[in-house]
Every structure is written in C-alpha cells, then in structure tokens.
C-alpha cells in the first residue's frame, strides 16, 4: 500500500471506532433504560403476587394476576439481557475462556454473536406468527400473547446489538 492509502485506511479505521464508541454510548443508555423498566416490572410483579396471595387467602382468587406476573417476569428477563451482557454479568466459563489462545477466544466471541442473532431471529419469527394468528392465553381470561413476544424481541435485539458491540470493541488480546 502507498503512504496515502495507509493514511486513508488509518483515518477510516479511526472514524469507524468513533462511530462504534458513539453507538456504544447510545446502546448503554438504552440498556440502562430497559434495565430500569425491568426493575420496575419486577417490583410490580412482587406487588401483584402479594395481592394474589392475599386475595386467595381472604377473598376470591383473581384469575388474571398469575398470568400477568408471568408476562412481567418474561419482560424482566429479556429487558435485562443486554445490560447484563454489557457489564459481563452473565454466568460464563471465564476461567476456561481466559486460558484460550486469541484465535479460539475470537471463535467463542463469534459463536456468542451468532447465538444471540439466532435467538433474535427465532423470537421475531415467533412474535410475527403470534400476531398473525392472534395467539392468546388459555383460561377464564385470555390475553393476546404477541405483545409480550414483541417485548422479548426488543430484549433479544438489544442483546444481539450488545454482543456485536462487545466483539467489535474487544481488543485482540482480550
């Protein structure tokens, strides 16, 4: 490569890193927002279950509470995926991964990105099918399932974006 091509390549590489860093800050804010929503949903779930136990013991049971609390817990789980990935909070075999050579660590990182992408695609397909078919819960009261499935899609898409960001910003020796 000529000297001018090397300079152009270095400049474009610096620009790409700036874009990834800027996008990373935005993604961090979105992660924090969804993690906060998940925290509030967890509190709401605890309140709903307290009300459910109270009504079951003192009055008539409320049929919708257990199902709504399950929906809230699903949202809590998926909304927290990306924020947990951002801080390396997921359970992993770090003692094994840190002993791998750099090429094998890269393979593990690529497999992680591919797995999170496959999760997102599978959830998108399932959510769209649920919306099209009008899938609902069973029981005395029925709820449409597609809203919670699209919440799962949002969480999985953020998780995929976070795994991609981490792979792009990870140092080769890390």
Judged by phi (left if over 0) then psi (alpha if -120 to 50, else beta), residue 68 lies in alpha
Question: In the prediction, which pLDDT does 130 show?
Answer: 93
Residue 46 near residue 72, CB atoms below 8 Å? no
pTM of the model: 0.75
SS3 content of the chain, % helix, strand, coil (to 5): 80, 0, 20
- Residue 81 has a pLDDT of 86
Say whether pLDDT at 121 is over 90: yes
Q: Which residues of 159-174 are buried (b: 16+ CB within 10 A; e: fewer)?
A: bbbbbbbbeeeeeeee
Token pair of 48 as six digits: 């709903």
Return the higher-pLDDT residue of 102 and 174: 102
Question: How far is the C-alpha of 148 from the C-alpha of 116, rounded, in Å?
Answer: 19
């Amino acid at each position: 490569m000529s000297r001018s091509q090397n300079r152009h390549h270095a400049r474009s590489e610096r620009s790409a890193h700036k874009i990834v860093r800027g996008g990373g800050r935005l993604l961090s804010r979105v992660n924090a927002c969804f993690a906060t929503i998940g925290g509030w949903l967890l509190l709401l779930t605890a309140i709903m279950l307290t009300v459910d136990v109270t009504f079951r013991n003192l009055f008539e049971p409320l049929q919708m509470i257990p199902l709504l609390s399950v929906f809230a817990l699903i949202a809590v789980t998926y909304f927290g995926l990306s924020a947990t990935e951002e801080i390396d909070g997921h359970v992993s075999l770090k003692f094994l991964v840190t002993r791998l050579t750099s090429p094998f660590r890269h393979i593990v990182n690529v497999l992680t990105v591919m797995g999170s992408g496959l999760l997102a695609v599978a959830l998108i397909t399932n959510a769209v099918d649920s919306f099209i078919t009008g899938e609902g819960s069973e029981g005395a009261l029925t709820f449409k399932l597609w809203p919670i499935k699209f919440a799962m899609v949002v969480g999985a898409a953020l998780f995929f974006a976070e795994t991609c960001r981490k792979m792009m910003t990870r140092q080769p020796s890390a």
